[in-house]
Structure 1
Amino acid sequence: MKVALVNIGRIVSGDFRHPDRAGDGILTDGGKIVAIGSADDFDLSSCDVVIDADGTTAIPGLIDSHVHITFGDYTPRQKTVGYLESYVHGGVTTAISASEVHVPGRPRDPEGVMALAVAARRCFDTYRPGGMRVHAGALILEPGLTRENLVEVKRLGVWLVKAGFGAFATPYGYAELIGWAHELGMTSLVHTGGSSIPGSSGIWAEHLLHLRPKVSFHVNGGPVAMPEEGFARLVDESDIALQVCTAGNLRTTLLTANLLRDAGQFERLLIATDTPTGSGIMPLGMLYTISHIASLTEIPPEWAIAAATGNNAAVYGLNSGILDVGRDADIVLVDACAGGSKNDAISALRNGDVPAVGAVVTDGIPRFVGRSRNTPATTRHVRVASSKVVQQFTAEHG
Structure 2
Amino acid sequence: MKSLRIDNVSGVVTGRLGEPVLTVGSVRCVDGKIAAFDDDTDADVIVDANGATLCPGLIDSHVHVTFGDWTPRQQTVGWIESYMHGGTTLMMSASEIHVPGRPTDRAGLKGLAIAAQRSWENVRPGGVKVLGGSVIISPALTEEDFAELGAENVRLAKVGFGAFESQSEAAPLVRAAQKAGFVVMNHTGGASVPGSAAVSIDDVLALECDIIGHANGGTTSLPDEDLERMFDAPGALQLVQAGNLRSSLRVIDLAKDRDDLDRILIATDTPTGTGVMPLGMIKTIVEFSSLADLSAADTIALATSNPGRVLHREEGVIDLGRPADMVLLQPPAGGVATDPLSAIERGDVPGICGVIIDGQVQGLRSRNTPAPARLATVH
TM-score where L is the length of structure 1:
0.94
Give me the whole-angstrom Cα distance separating, in 1, the residues matched to 2:124 and 2:194: 31
Runs of 4+ aligned residues of structure 1 deviating over 4 Å after TM superposition are none
Could you tell me which residue of structure 2 aligns to residue 15 of structure 1? 16
Equivalent AA in structure 1 for residue 123 of structure 2: Y
The 8 Å contact of residues 302 and 346 in structure 1, kept in 2 or not, is answered as yes
Q: CA deviation at 1:265?
A: 1.2
Counterpart check, 1:157 vs 2:156: no
User: Which structure 2 segments of 5+ residues have no match?
Assistant: none
The 8 Å contact of residues 6 and 51 in structure 1, kept in 2 or not, is answered as yes
Could you tell me which residue of structure 2 aligns to residue 217 of structure 1? 213
Could you tell me which residue of structure 1 aligns to residue 369 of structure 2? 375
Out of 312, 331, 334, the residue aligned to residue 326 of structure 2 is 331
Q: CA deviation at 1:228?
A: 1.1
User: Which structure 1 segments of 5+ residues have no match?
Assistant: 387-398
Percent identity over the alignment?
44
Q: CA deviation at 1:51?
A: 0.5
Give me the whole-angstrom Cα distance separating, in 2, the residues matched to 1:94 and 1:19: 24
The 8 Å contact of residues 187 and 316 in structure 1, kept in 2 or not, is answered as yes
Q: CA deviation at 1:42?
A: 2.3
Give the root-mean-square deviation of aligned CA atoms.
Answer: 0.9
Give me the whole-angstrom Cα distance separating, in 1, the residues matched to 2:167 and 2:245: 25
Counterpart check, 1:42 vs 2:36: no
Deviations 1:19-75 (A, max 9, x none): 433311111111111112x2xx3212xx11100111111010000110000000000
Give me the whole-angstrom Cα distance separating, in 1, the residues matched to 2:55 and 2:192: 33
Q: CA deviation at 1:377?
A: 1.6
Could you tell me which residue of structure 1 aligns to residue 82 of structure 2? 86
The 8 Å contact of residues 58 and 332 in structure 1, kept in 2 or not, is answered as yes
The 8 Å contact of residues 19 and 303 in structure 1, kept in 2 or not, is answered as no
Give me the whole-angstrom Cα distance separating, in 1, the residues matched to 2:20 and 2:120: 32
Q: CA deviation at 1:300?
A: 1.1
Could you tell me which residue of structure 2 aligns to residue 6 of structure 1? 7
The 8 Å contact of residues 166 and 203 in structure 2, kept in 1 or not, is answered as no
The 8 Å contact of residues 190 and 218 in structure 2, kept in 1 or not, is answered as yes
Could you tell me which residue of structure 2 aligns to residue 349 of structure 1? 344
Could you tell me which residue of structure 1 aligns to residue 269 of structure 2? 274
Could you tell me which residue of structure 2 aligns to residue 193 of structure 1? 189
Deviations 1:357-389 (A, max 9, x none): 0000001100122x11111221123111x2xxx
Give me the whole-angstrom Cα distance separating, in 2, the residues matched to 1:152 and 1:252: 38
Could you tell me which residue of structure 2 aligns to residue 290 of structure 1? 285
Q: CA deviation at 1:204?
A: 1.9
Give me the whole-angstrom Cα distance separating, in 2, the residues matched to 1:124 and 1:325: 27
The 8 Å contact of residues 62 and 93 in structure 1, kept in 2 or not, is answered as yes
My pick for the range that moved more, 103-112 or 18-27, is 18-27
Equivalent AA in structure 2 for residue 376 of structure 1: P
Query: Secondary structure of 1:173's partner?
Result: helix
Give me the whole-angstrom Cα distance separating, in 2, the residues matched to 1:182 and 1:92: 27
Q: CA deviation at 1:182?
A: 1.3
Structure 1 residues 116-195: aligned runs within 5 Å? 116-195=112-191
Could you tell me which residue of structure 2 aligns to residue 394 of structure 1? none
Q: CA deviation at 1:240?
A: 1.5
Query: Secondary structure of 1:111's partner?
Result: helix
Structure 1 residues 106-121: aligned runs within 5 Å? 106-121=102-117
Query: Secondary structure of 1:66's partner?
Result: strand
Deviations 1:159-217 (A, max 9, x none): 00100001111111111100101111211100001110111111122111111000000
Q: CA deviation at 1:130?
A: 0.2
